[in-house]
Structure formats: C-alpha cells, structure tokens
Amino acid sequence: MAILIVSFRINKKKMHKAYLIYPALILIGFLIINYSNRIYNFTESNIEITGTVYKVKESSYGYMLYVRKNIFDRERFIIYSDKEYDEGTVIQVKGNATGFAMPSNPGAFNTKVYYNSLKIKGKIKPDSIKIIKADYDKILSYTGKLSDMLENNYKKICSDKYSSVFSAMILGKKDELDDGLETLFSDNGIGHILAISGLHISLIGMALYKLIKRTGAGDILSMAASVTIIGLYGIMTGNNVSTVRAVVMFFAMVYSNVAEKTYDIASASALAAIVSLLDAPLLLFNCSFLLSYLAIIGIAYIFPAIKNIFEYNSKLLDGFIASLSIQLAALPVNLFYFFKIQLLSVLVNVVVIPMMTVVMISAIVSGIICFINPEIGKLTIGAAVYSLKFFEILCGICSKIPSSVWTPGRPSGANIVIYYMIILIFLMQPFKKKRIWNIGIIIPSIAAVSIRLHFYFEMTFIDVGQGDGIYMETPEGTTVLIDGGSSDNKKLYEYTLEPFLLSKGRKKLDAVIVTHCDNDHISGIRKIFTEDNIKVKTLYMPSTTMTDEVYTELIELAAESGTDIKYIYEGYSMTEKDFYMYCLHPEYEYDTSERNDYSTTLYIRYDNFSALLTGDISGEIENNILQKYKDFPQVTILKAAHHGSRFSNTEDFIDEFAPQNIVISCGKDNSYGHPHRETIERFENKGIPWLTTMENGAITVIVNKNNTKINTYLDE
C-alpha cells in the first residue's frame, strides 16, 4: 500500500503503473494471511522471561500484563495475573507459555494473526512474578499514571456508560466500554468514533504548534515541542495503529510547514505505513491497520475522482461524498472481517463526523478541568455527553429501518482483487467525459465483492467443541442447521455460530433441526432465538413423550421469535430437486426417559453423496434401526454417534451402512474421553478413514456435479 502511494507521488504521469501495484499487494496479503501463523509457531513450554510491562488491562482473569524485553523486541507476551502492576515496571516471570490458536471455523476471529500482528508471541500463565525494578521506564510509568488519572476524572464527571466512551476515544482504553453502546455504534458504521481519531490528533497537534509558535518560539523549537507532546500522547494511549499514523503524519505536516514544502496527505500516510510495517510487518494483516490506511486512500484518491465528475458547491455534499469514498475504499476489508455493512452508515457519518470535533474538545477540556474543579468539568462535559446521546438516538432509528443492514458475507480473495481492479479502472478514466459511465462502473465492483455464487451442495460439521452442529446448504439456497450446542464453549453463539452464518451471508435459516435437548446440542440454538439476529423459518423438534422443561422452553423461545414449530419423526422426508432428507428415528411420539434415545437420526442424499447423521443414539437404538432398515445403501459419511462413544457405533451398525468416511464431533481434552479408543479401533480395523473436529476444525463436504470433496479448516 505504501509502495503504491509513494510510486504515485513520484511520477503522476505513470500513475497507471503504480495503480497496478495495489491489487497485487491486496492479493498477496490475502493469500499470505493463510500462512502467517508459521511466523510465530509457538508450542507450549515452561518459560522464564524478564521484561517491561508496557500495557495493563483488566480481564475476567484479573489483569493482562503486556510485557516486552525491550522497545524493539518482536517477541512479546501477555501475562495473566491476579495482581496489577504499573506500566514501566520490570518483572521476571516464570510459568507455562502457550501460543495463540488458529480459528477452527469459517468466520471465526483469528486471534493468532491479530496478536502476532502486534508482535505478541504468546501468553503465559505464571507460577511466579517478581518485580525487578519499579518505574524503570519513566515515560511509560508517568504517561500510564496520567492516563489512569484522566480515566478517573471522566468517571467523576459523567456516568460509567459515557465515561468509558471518553476513555476509549481519548485514552485508547476499551476495557470498560458499554457492550450495548459499542454494538449499536459498530452496527451502524460509526464504531470508529470509539477509537482514537487520527484526524483530531493532527488538528490538536497543529493547534499546539501554532500556539507554541505564538509565544515567540522559532519554527524548529515549535515543531520539536509539539511533536514531542503528541508523541508522548501516543505513548500514553498505547501507540495503536491510528495513533502512530496520526503522529507520523502530524510530523510530516509540521515539517512541511517549517521547510516551506507542500504537505501531501498521500505521501505522509505512505511514510506512516512504512514506519509501522518496518516495526511490525504483520500489521499488513491487521484489520485496524488496513481500515486506517484505506480511509486515507478513499479521501486522497476516490473522493477527488468522484467530486471531479460533478460540478457542485456544497459542503454537505462534500461530506457525503467523502464518507462514501471511505466506504468504497474499505468495503472489501469491512466485509472480510465483519461480513455486513450498514447501508445508512454513509449518511450517519455525514452527521456524526462534524460533531466529533465538539465531542473531542469537550471531552479533552473537561478531563483537564476536572483536575482543578470537578463541578466545572460536569458542566463542560455536557456537550460531549449530549452529542453521544444524540448518536444513540440516530443509530437506534437506523437500526429499526427494515433491510438497513446488508449481509453478503465474507468475500473471497479473488472477489476482493476484482473489486479493486474495477475501482482502479474507474480512477483511471478521464473524469470530464462519460460521467454516467464513470459512476456506473462502481456498481459492478460492489457486485463483484458481494455476489456469492453457490452452485454446489455443502455440509459442514462445525467445530463447536464438545457438542454437535451441522450446517447444510443446497444449490437452491435452502439452509438447514442440525443442532448447535456445546458443553465447553460457553460463547458458542457469539464466537462460533453467528460468525459462521454471517460469513456465509446468512441471516435467515430455513430450518433448524434439533436431535435432542441436551445442552451440548442446543445451547447455541437457544441463543439464536433469544438474540434474534439470525431468523429461523421453521424449528423441527423430535417427536417424543419426553417433553421436559428444556424441551418446552426451546419451543416457547422459538415461538416468541416468530418461528414455526414442526415435529419430526420416522418417515418424515424433505425433497428439493437433487436433495433428499429422510428421518429414520424416533417413531411418532417416541416413549423414553432418556434424551439420547429420542435423538433424531437423518439420512441425507444429494446426487451420489449420502450421509447418516445420528445425534447421540445408543447401541440399543442403533440395533432398533437395523431391525427396520435392511440392505441400506452405503453412505459416504457417517457422523459418529454420541461423539464417538464406545457404547454407540456398534460393529453391526457400521457394517450395515458401510461408511466411506466417518466424522466425529468432539472437544479437546473433554472429560468424557471422546472419542473412545475402542470406537477408533473399530473404525481402523475396518479400514474406514475418520476425522475429528477437535483436530481438524470444521469439516466441510462439497458436492458439485457428482464430485465430492472433503475439506478440513485447520488443514487448508
């Protein structure tokens, strides 16, 4: 990205050559991201390190201490501690260190790439922490204490809900952000206001420079003083991506003023990108980094390109086109990481961004005044608080507008490259000619990144931990979720199910089928109905007389969300062109006192592919099924019953269905010992290959024109 901008500035006459670098960099970036985990491959080990605490965060564990050996060290660690340590303190840590896990499901957040991009190698559960020297790094120590004091000031002059917002946007502290407010702002495209604003850092820095200069200080002294102050502010706020960009760009701005040169935003941002990437190359895969610099590209290139097509003189329209330009520049990256876009966010930002100057000035002034008189601070913070309340109302209105959120899902790397190629073609056109065609070319670029072609049948065994979750989608677009629960993944819906579905562009499921009502099969489904973000057309419950409290509660939750309720039992079938589903068990109103025994057992067929999905049926139920279904055709895949329990998956059952492959859904280090060794031996003795979600991650079967392919997410 930096190469593109620098190349463009060096020779405008050859800008078309520079433009070609950009899509190449984008393509390389999204290809390399799949292999970036190799850079910081880190196995579990006992470790001893001595380093400086450069950041402290509160967590459910107590405190997260961010430790580095020195300022240039690229192998940093997070220490989980029950005791707080001041920033700038040198500590010696002994304990068990582990690396960050790669995501095991499509759509899941890539924790490893995120932390590695910040030069953090792993995390340590300490056996001991020893202070070697307190206040060793004076700058870190003093700026950290000042940050804490300002955070306390905001708590004194306004409610926790809004003080946490000011701490986030002024101090870079997001630990205590109100979850509801953060979600509301993010869903409506103004989540960026909760981060430190590079624009306002530059404006404040320039004001400082001019103020110092008015005192009689020379250009060099004014530049040095203002850059130092802004630099210290950057250290105090954690030197995040937008802060570093703003500090470097501010330096370039002041230097150009002192040197009597023309300031160029593109060249300044290129310099900032180079500085950041030289220090932390993996920032190329960091969402914040990409969005920060794509916003600059939108303003520097797309905004003037669109503006030059039309003749107008309106600051309001300027704001709209600037907001639109940023959205166009960042669209593929936003979809790659968040899967959805608030269509009204362009208009919302036209209102919000100009008001943010008032919010920032009010918050900064009030935080400082509070040192002198908190009562005055309560008055001056009013402008910022009421602005935030207005933003809440505005976002609340937008959220209620039907179809205001567009969820096309995660685009492929190829789609992203096509999108930027079309945008580049638009930028390279002579703007005074063919105005309508120039604007019209943007439409296919949006289509290129959002259209999701699905000409195949898909079945994905989601890695839910110790539990079950199976997703199916037909070429006609019918979507089915069979189970969705876990006994060890307490945030299954938030971290697995919802991201998985949204990454596929699915906010509505045609059918959810429950095999039985154990928590490890329905915990996520329950959240689907209570969160109401994913709509379900029909819930299929197993027909049984064992309608306990959990069973009836799930039906009630589904009904309250507007979902139709149907009951599934032996003989029930569903047909759609080449897709066929048939229920083998349970019988109508099956009488049992064991949940596992009424597990819905399904036979699935699409073209020459077939699967048998067994829930948690026992060996006894398997035998009952065998008594009814003789000479059953061989299946391509058998989902091992009850997570690979030795009390299920009997030899007779396996022999009858003769699976070509077996999938086992289970969690790592589960307390049940699943899959049992005896079960695995049965499979291996019969020469049947098997896969587990705990080792292979999500297991996806793709069937296209009688060709069946099995992909494992962790091995891709």
Least confident piece of the model among 69-83, 367-381, 611-625? 69-83
Separation CA 598–CA 591 (nearest Å): 8
pLDDT at 542 over 50: yes
Average pLDDT over residues 75-103: 91
Whether residues 553 and 663 share a domain: the answer is yes
- In 3D space, the residue among 529, 506, 465, 508 whose CA is nearest the CA of residue 698 turns out to be 465
Least confident piece of the model among 410-414, 447-451, 471-475, 595-599? 447-451
What is residue 551's predicted lDDT score, i.e. its pLDDT?
A: 97
What is residue 20's predicted lDDT score, i.e. its pLDDT?
A: 47
Least confident piece of the model among 40-54, 331-345, 611-625, 665-679? 40-54
What is residue 269's predicted lDDT score, i.e. its pLDDT?
A: 87
Cβ–Cβ under 8 Å, residues 166 and 237: no
Cβ–Cβ under 8 Å, residues 664 and 643: yes
What is residue 195's predicted lDDT score, i.e. its pLDDT?
A: 81
- The band of 7, judged by pLDDT with boundaries at 50, 70 and 90, is very low
What is residue 176's predicted lDDT score, i.e. its pLDDT?
A: 83
Whether residues 538 and 570 share a domain: the answer is yes
What is residue 216's predicted lDDT score, i.e. its pLDDT?
A: 84
Amino acid at 242: S
The CA distances from residue 47 to 51, 123, 124, in Å, are 13, 11, 8
Least confident piece of the model among 225-229, 424-428, 623-627? 424-428
Does some domain include residue 659? Answer: yes
Here the tokens at position 228 are 């130092």
- The band of 640, judged by pLDDT with boundaries at 50, 70 and 90, is very high
Whether residues 105 and 164 share a domain: the answer is no
Cβ–Cβ under 8 Å, residues 356 and 390: no
Whether residues 95 and 181 share a domain: the answer is no
pLDDT (tens digit, 9 = 90+) per residue, 323-333? 889 999 999 99
- The band of 134, judged by pLDDT with boundaries at 50, 70 and 90, is confident
Element (H, E) at 609: strand 609-613
pLDDT (tens digit, 9 = 90+) per residue, 163-211? 999 998 888 888 888 888 888 888 888 888 888 777 778 878 888 888 8
Does some domain include residue 246? Answer: no
Give the CATH number for residue 113: 2.40.50.140
What is the SS3 assignment for 567? strand
Cβ–Cβ under 8 Å, residues 153 and 374: yes
What is the SS3 assignment for 509? strand
The residue with tokens 């954690």 is: 238
What is residue 240's predicted lDDT score, i.e. its pLDDT?
A: 83
- Mean predicted lDDT score pLDDT of the chain: 87
Amino acid at 195: A
Residue 259: other Cβ atoms inside 10 A: 10
Separation CA 640–CA 675 (nearest Å): 9
pLDDT at 509 over 50: yes
pLDDT at 373 over 90: yes
pLDDT at 405 over 60: yes
Whether residues 130 and 164 share a domain: the answer is no
What is residue 141's predicted lDDT score, i.e. its pLDDT?
A: 83
DSSP tag of 56: E
Average pLDDT over residues 554-577: 96
The CA distances from residue 415 to 29, 150, 152, 522, in Å, are 14, 45, 47, 35
Whether residues 640 and 499 share a domain: the answer is yes
pLDDT at 621 over 90: yes
Q: Which residue has the higher pLDDT, 582 or 88?
A: 582
Average pLDDT over residues 444-464: 83
Cβ–Cβ under 8 Å, residues 187 and 342: yes
Domain boundary among 409, 424, 439: 409
Average pLDDT over residues 252-264: 85
What is residue 514's predicted lDDT score, i.e. its pLDDT?
A: 98
The residue range of the domain holding 61 is 39-136
Does some domain include residue 207? Answer: no
- In 3D space, the residue among 673, 616, 670 whose CA is nearest the CA of residue 640 turns out to be 616
What is the SS3 assignment for 481? strand
Look at the chain and report how many structural domains it folds into.
3
Give the CATH number for residue 508: 3.60.15.10
Whether residues 94 and 161 share a domain: the answer is no
Residue 281: other Cβ atoms inside 10 A: 14
pLDDT (tens digit, 9 = 90+) per residue, 584-614? 999 999 999 999 999 999 999 999 999 999 9
pLDDT at 375 over 70: yes
Rounded to the nearest 10 degrees, what angle do helices 15-32 and 413-427 cross at? 170
What share of the chain in percent tops pLDDT 90? 53
Separation CA 443–CA 445 (nearest Å): 5
DSSP tag of 544: B
Separation CA 548–CA 577 (nearest Å): 37
Does some domain include residue 609? Answer: yes
Here the tokens at position 442 are 């943007």
Cβ–Cβ under 8 Å, residues 268 and 252: yes
Whether residues 668 and 562 share a domain: the answer is yes
Does some domain include residue 278? Answer: no
Here the tokens at position 230 are 């802004």
Average pLDDT over residues 651-678: 95
Domain boundary among 71, 103, 136: 136
Here the tokens at position 713 are 């997410």
Element (H, E) at 364: helix 345-369
pLDDT at 73 over 80: no
Does some domain include residue 631? Answer: yes
Phi first, then psi: what are they for 663, rounded to 5°?
-115, 130
Average pLDDT over residues 376-397: 94
Whether residues 128 and 171 share a domain: the answer is no
Exposure on the CB side of residue 391, measured as CA atoms within 13 A: 32
Average pLDDT over residues 351-371: 92
Average pLDDT over residues 75-79: 89
pLDDT at 440 over 80: no
Average pLDDT over residues 286-308: 88
Cβ–Cβ under 8 Å, residues 712 and 684: no
What is residue 26's predicted lDDT score, i.e. its pLDDT?
A: 53
Domain boundary among 75, 104, 136: 136
Whether residues 606 and 676 share a domain: the answer is yes
Amino acid at 392: E
Does some domain include residue 532? Answer: yes
Rounded to the nearest 10 degrees, what angle do helices 241-258 and 265-279 cross at? 130
Does some domain include residue 398? Answer: yes
Q: What share of the chain is helix, strand, coil (3-state, %, to 5)?
A: 50, 20, 30
Whether residues 65 and 118 share a domain: the answer is yes
Whether residues 527 and 396 share a domain: the answer is no
What share of the chain in percent tops pLDDT 70? 91
